[in-house]
Structure 1
Amino acid sequence: MELLDRFVTLWVVIDPIGTVPVFIAVTAAMTAPERRKTALLAACISAGVLLFFLLFGQILIDALGISLLSFQTAGGIILFIFALTMIFGEAKHETDIHATDADADLDQRPSPAVFPLAVPSLASPGAMLAIVLLTDNNEFAAADQAITAGVMLLVVLIAYLCMLAAGPIIRLIGNSGAAIVSRVMGMILASVAADLVISALLEIGQSGLH
């Protein structure tokens, strides 16, 4: 029963199904091999980030004196900013004079597999918090950590398979459809981000009153 609870918790916070629209939005212009490579890289990076928080998250947060609610607030703000870029699109240059510089800037940007797919879509602030809360990092309970890691890797694997299945969807809806999906997902992500921040602030306020 405890194993099922961990699976459900990590399924909700990692949200493999919810990652598919984001994947469609950021990979619509890619070829099929590029999409497969992006999906694999995103799954591996997100798994690595979550494993790091599983092993060292609580220790790092305690060492820095950061509360989990502060971490949740910061993650919600970052997620909200990213959601705005999905809704309104990225800023474009007014002229083509600096086209070469623009291309150079594009080359320096992180791969979509890193941002936004691995972080914050798969390894979301909620997922990082859940990993920390599901494992007692201070005690280094190896068996407990191994169970949580196994469940997390299973959910990430499912997310990877879901991203692979997005290829036929992209071919069906085309670039225009992907743009619409991107805007809708941006609205949803903005709502999720706002909820993260509001719930953290409310909890901080309640704890202050007591």
Structure 2
Amino acid sequence: MFNVLQPYILTFIPIFVAVDAIGNIPLFISLVNSLGKKQRQKVVLDTVTTATAVAILFVLIGKWILSFIGITISDFQIAGGALLFIISVRLLMPGTAKSLVANSHEKNIGVFPLGTPLVTGPAVLTTTLIMHDTFGLFPTLLSLLANMLIVWVTLAKADVIMKVMGTSGTRAFSKIMYVLLAAIGVMMIRRGILGGFFP
């Protein structure tokens, strides 16, 4: 039974860490704080739709693009792992994520910066592509859709979650996710080196 579920579990967890739905709550609230209930619902829908569409598109054509320009999966694992590590370290620094809010002047904030790059950014794109190569398309897409469902519920109930966890709680959770993301980045680099130099 575990062997059947293993690919789904092993794809779900890295994508969950990369998406960091709960860690995005404070930024989401700061962006929609002045909006009414219907406007918030539209922002949530736009966020999830954009994030899902961008991620699925990259999963479907990302490997083909890499192959077309002559980049192997091992190359991408090393580069992607390094990128994940750098992103996670930067996000651990104070104020980095908030810069997305400060620089956002778009009317449709559900598309940018919430849909991308906040929910589906480089970390999610890199993770999903490598999960696709490692575990296959179906487990990756199913895990991605499950995570986007979590994002939808989390953002729709952001005020309630924030009251329960508090600002400090959501920030602490987010920091833990960033550390795990850094560890996943190191793992990807290791696998890329082993696959590229010691096949």
TM-score band by shorter chain is: 0.5 to 0.7
2:104 corresponds to which letter in structure 1?
D
Decide which of 79, 86, 94 is 1:89's aligned counterpart. Answer: 94
Alignment partners' CA distance in 1, 2:70 and 2:122: 23
2:75 counterpart of 1:78: no
CA contact (8 A) 2:77 2:192 kept: yes
Alignment partners' CA distance in 2, 1:104 and 1:151: 30
Bigger mean CA deviation after superposition, 158-167 or 193-202: 158-167
2:54 counterpart of 1:63: no
Residue 13 of structure 1 deviates from its aligned partner by: 3.9
2:53 corresponds in structure 1 to: 48
CA contact (8 A) 1:80 1:189 kept: yes
* Deviation readout 1:42-70 (Å, 9 max, x if unpaired): 43233223332343233212111011121
Unaligned 5+ residue runs, structure 2?
A: 107-111
Residue 195 of structure 1 deviates from its aligned partner by: 1.9
Residue 28 of structure 1 deviates from its aligned partner by: 5.1
Alignment partners' CA distance in 1, 2:42 and 2:166: 20
Residue 4 of structure 1 deviates from its aligned partner by: 5.5
2:146 counterpart of 1:155: yes
When residues 44 and 172 of structure 1 are mapped into structure 2, their CA distance, relative to the original with a 3 A threshold, is: same
When residues 83 and 40 of structure 1 are mapped into structure 2, their CA distance, relative to the original with a 3 A threshold, is: farther
1:106 corresponds in structure 2 to: 103
When residues 149 and 70 of structure 1 are mapped into structure 2, their CA distance, relative to the original with a 3 A threshold, is: closer
When residues 132 and 39 of structure 1 are mapped into structure 2, their CA distance, relative to the original with a 3 A threshold, is: farther
SS in 1 for 2:82: helix
Alignment partners' CA distance in 1, 2:102 and 2:19: 29
CA contact (8 A) 2:77 2:189 kept: yes
* Deviation readout 1:100-148 (Å, 9 max, x if unpaired): xx99972369514312321245x3422122335625xxxxxxxxxxx67
When residues 6 and 165 of structure 1 are mapped into structure 2, their CA distance, relative to the original with a 3 A threshold, is: farther
> Normalized against structure 1, the TM-score is what?
0.65
Alignment partners' CA distance in 2, 1:159 and 1:153: 10
SS in 2 for 1:107: coil
2:117 counterpart of 1:115: yes
SS in 2 for 1:89: coil
1:141 corresponds in structure 2 to: none
2:182 corresponds in structure 1 to: 190
CA contact (8 A) 1:10 1:130 kept: yes
Q: Larger C-alpha radius of gyration, 1 or 2?
A: 1
Aligned residues: 185
Residue 6 of structure 1 deviates from its aligned partner by: 5.9
1:81 corresponds to which letter in structure 2?
I
2:162 corresponds in structure 1 to: 170
